[in-house]
């Protein structure tokens, strides 16, 4: 059952609060929400007009934000639209999504940012547009996009090869206080790469991207950051060396943050043995030892937050030879559920809620009385299956269909609205 409603008064009954910064952390409480504000936390009597949410094993988190999803619109409506993408995001437990700017036209000015925000107005799941950093070899209007609401600046899946452009980007972006994303892959190392270079690529006869293609890009970027200042974000790191480089840089005081794609935490290059194009990702799935280091990086906080890296790809661009297939996999509806199987609840809360908000300067959502109700609801130990019929994306490029999950997304509450799925 899906119940979407504009809320007046909602009572969440006996839920475990998972917000390490809240005085109610780890306790089971009733939560009363009125007009989009958490009015009271404690033991609360229900009244007739209350919408009551009650499930065994219900856990409530500060709203989860996905730091990287491609929502297709404008230009790629055959793969995704803002409406379908935000529906999938809410279904996956997200109260907010950073939308990637490589639409057509790209999100490259104030109008583009405003279009995205306007299109999502009134939705329970909020949109945080990322703007383009570079229009070819010139800076996009970063200050204008910042004013319109852009959350950061990025040219997705295109590494910045020209060092002077990254220097200028980091310097100029300091007028906005926002982060520059730098895609960690030096394509010149392996221009024909299809997957991670390793044992599996050797067995499959495919050209690979060595881990080096990522680490030399990150090494350069960190050197530039030390020189130029500003705030750098390395999205979707994939190698063990990258985690160590960023750990060291943080210890040295550099303002660098990074994320990891959930796919990189559950799959590895061995999964490409059958040439399944749904495992063709960018950065590529790396070795099992990389996966272990990435998991460790999330646990110790080196990796600031998780991303679904939702990349809807039209059927025809996946139903073909591996070498011709477009990279990417769906992620919005499965990322949170996967993370709950990998990490304890405190880490999940940090990796989806506080980590990303701190990295990008967003107001941290707290589960405290008087705060805005921006909540993700999970029914713990209630198994669920991601079926084709549950898929809200327009595309279907997921390697996770028919997988059983230990938990279920119960719903979200945000923007004075609630969507409940169980």
- At 303, which helix (H) or strand (E)? none
Per CB under 8 A, the list member of 56, 205, 253, 370 interacting with other proteins is 205
Are 288 and 213 within 8 A, CB to CB? no
201-209, 372-380, 382-390, 402-410 -> range binding other proteins (CB under 8 A): 201-209
Taking contact as CB under 8 A, which single stretch among the options 45-53, 157-165, 172-180, 200-208 is the one that binds other proteins?
200-208
Q: Which is nearer to other proteins, 54 or 202 (CB)?
A: 202
| Beta carbon nearer to other proteins, 192 or 227 | 192
Helix (H, G, I), strand (E, B) or coil at 236: coil
Question: What's the closest the beta carbon of residue 196 comes to other proteins, in angstroms?
Answer: 10
Token digits of residue 209: 């991207």
Nearer to other proteins, 227 or 315 (CB): 315
The span of 121-129, 147-155, 196-204, 386-394 binding other proteins (CB under 8 A) equals 196-204
65 within 8 A of 21, measured Cβ to Cβ:
no
Q: How far, in whole angstroms, is CA 201 from its chain's centroid?
A: 28
Q: Which of 67, 156, 198, 283 binds other proteins (CB under 8 A)?
A: 198
401 belongs to the binding site for other proteins (CB under 8 A): no
Task: Write the burial class of residue 316 (CB in 10 Å: 0-12 exposed, 13-18 middle, 19+ buried).
Answer: exposed
Site for other proteins in 209-268 (CB under 8 A): 210
SS3 category, 30: strand
For the chain, what's the residue count? 422
Shortest distance, position 210 Cβ to other proteins, whole Å:
7
Least distance in angstroms from the C-beta of 211 to other proteins: 11
Footprint (CB under 8 A) of other proteins, residues 89-148: none
Q: Which of these segments, 191-199, 213-221, 288-296, 389-397, binds other proteins (CB under 8 A)?
A: 191-199
Using CA atoms, how far apart are residues 64 and 71, in angstroms rounded to an integer? 17
Q: Which of 81, 103, 182, 201 binds other proteins (CB under 8 A)?
A: 201
Q: What is the rounded distance in angstroms from the CA atom of residue 133 to the CA atom of residue 54? A: 45
Conformational region of residue 103, where left means phi above 0, alpha means psi within -120 to 50, and beta covers everything else: beta
CB 273 within 8 A of CB 204: yes
Shortest distance in whole angstroms from residue 311 CB to other proteins: 20
The DSSP secondary structure of 105-123, one letter per residue, reads S-S-SHHHHHHHHHHTTT-
Considering the complex, state which of residue 279 and residue 360 has its C-beta at the smaller distance from other proteins.
279
From the list 23, 161, 164, 203, which residue makes contact with other proteins (rule: CB under 8 A)?
A: 203
If the CB atoms of residues 155 and 194 are measured against other proteins, the closer one turns out to be 194
β-strand partners of 139: 134
Question: Where does residue 205 fall: left (phi above 0), alpha (psi -120 to 50 degrees), or beta otherwise?
Answer: left
Closer residue to other proteins (CB): 241 or 374: 241
Q: Binding pattern to other proteins, positions 148-187, x when CB under 8 A? A: ----------------------------------------
199 binds other proteins (CB under 8 A): yes
Closest CA to 231 of 184, 178, 182: 178
User: How many other C-beta atoms can be found within 10 angstroms of the C-beta atom of residue 288?
Assistant: 12
Smallest CA-to-CA distance from 353 within 341, 363, 343 is with: 363
**Contact string 290-329 vs other proteins (x = CB under 8 A):** --------------------------x--xxxxxx-----
CA distance 292 to 239: 10
Instruction: Count residues binding other proteins (CB under 8 A).
Output: 22
Tokens of 52: 């009551």
Compare residues 316 and 341 and give the one whose CB is closer to other proteins.
316
Using CA of residue 101, residue 259, residue 411, residue 41, what is the dihedral sign?
negative
| CA–CA dist 349, 335 (Å, integer) | 13
Stretch that binds other proteins, among 157-165, 202-210, 250-258, 334-342 (CB under 8 A): 202-210
Could you tell me the smallest distance in angstroms from the CB atom of residue 318 to other proteins? Answer: 11
Q: Which residue ranges make up the site for other proteins (CB under 8 A)? A: 192, 194, 197-199, 201-207, 210, 274-275, 316, 319-324
């Amino acid at each position: 059952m899906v119940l979407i409603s504009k809320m007046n008064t909602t009572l969440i009954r006996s839920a475990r609060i998972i917000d390490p910064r809240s005085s109610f952390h780890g306790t089971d409480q009733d939560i009363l929400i009125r007009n989009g504000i958490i009015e009271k936390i404690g033991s609360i009597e229900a009244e007739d007009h209350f919408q009551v949410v009650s499930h065994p094993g219900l856990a409530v988190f500060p709203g989860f934000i996905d730091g990287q999803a491609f929502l297709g619109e404008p230009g790629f409506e055959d793969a995704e639209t803002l409406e379908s993408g935000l529906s999938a995001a809410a279904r996956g437990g997200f109260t907010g999504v950073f939308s990637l700017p490589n639409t057509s036209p790209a999100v490259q000015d104030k109008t583009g940012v405003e279009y995205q925000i306007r299109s999502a107005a009134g939705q329970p799941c909020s949109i945080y547009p990322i703007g383009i950093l570079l229009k070819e070899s010139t800076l996009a209007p970063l200050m204008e996009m910042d004013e319109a609401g852009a959350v950061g600046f990025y040219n997705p899946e295109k590494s910045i090869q020209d060092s002077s452009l990254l220097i200028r980007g980091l310097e100029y972006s300091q007028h906005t206080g926002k982060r520059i994303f730098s895609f960690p892959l030096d394509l010149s190392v392996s221009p024909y790469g299809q997957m991670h270079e390793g044992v599996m690529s050797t067995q499959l006869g495919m050209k690979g991207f060595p881990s080096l293609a990522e680490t030399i890009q990150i090494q350069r970027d960190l050197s530039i950051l030390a020189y130029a200042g500003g705030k750098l974000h390395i999205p979707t790191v994939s190698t063990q060396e990258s985690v160590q480089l960023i750990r060291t840089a943080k210890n040295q005081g550099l303002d660098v943050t990074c994320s990891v794609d959930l796919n990189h935490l559950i799959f590895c290059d061995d999964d490409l043995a059958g040439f399944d194009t749904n495992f063709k990702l960018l950065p590529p799935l790396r070795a099992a030892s990389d996966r272990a280091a990435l998991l460790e990086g999330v646990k110790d906080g080196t990796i600031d937050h998780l991303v679904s890296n939702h990349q809807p790809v039209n059927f025809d661009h996946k139903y073909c030879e591996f070498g011709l297939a477009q990279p990417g996999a769906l992620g919005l509806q499965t990322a949170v559920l996967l993370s709950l199987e990998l990490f304890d609840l405190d880490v999940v809360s940090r990796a989806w809620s506080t980590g990303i908000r701190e990295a990008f300067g967003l107001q941290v959502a707290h589960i405290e009385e008087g705060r805005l109700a921006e909540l993700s609801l999970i029914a713990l130990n209630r198994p669920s299956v991601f079926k084709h019929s549950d898929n809200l994306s327009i595309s279907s490029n997921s390697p996770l269909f028919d997988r059983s999950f230990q938990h279920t997304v119960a719903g979200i509450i945000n923007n004075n609205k609630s969507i409940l799925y169980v």
